[in-house]
Amino acid sequence: MEVRGLCSICGSIAKMYTCSLCGSLVCSRCFQPKHGICKRCQKGLKAP
């Protein structure tokens, strides 16, 4: 079953993925499948 909803980052209506760090529901454009996290969390994990 596919879950569709409103992305908590960009606001698009699409298939949703759950970030394993913050739990946000995000679309495929805002999700990093390699790490299972959203792009917001990925930015926070990058070294300065």
Tens of pLDDT along the chain (48 residues) come to 678 999 999 999 999 999 999 999 999 999 999 999 999 999 987 755
Instruction: Please tell me the distance from the alpha carbon of residue 36 to that of residue 19, in angstroms, as a whole number.
Output: 6
At residue 47, the pLDDT reads 57
Instruction: Please tell me the distance from the alpha carbon of residue 38 to that of residue 14, in angstroms, as a whole number.
Output: 15
Query: Do 41 and 19 touch, CB atoms closer than 8 A?
Result: yes
CA nearest 7: which of 44, 39, 43, 45? 39
Pairing of β 4-6 and β 37-38: unpaired
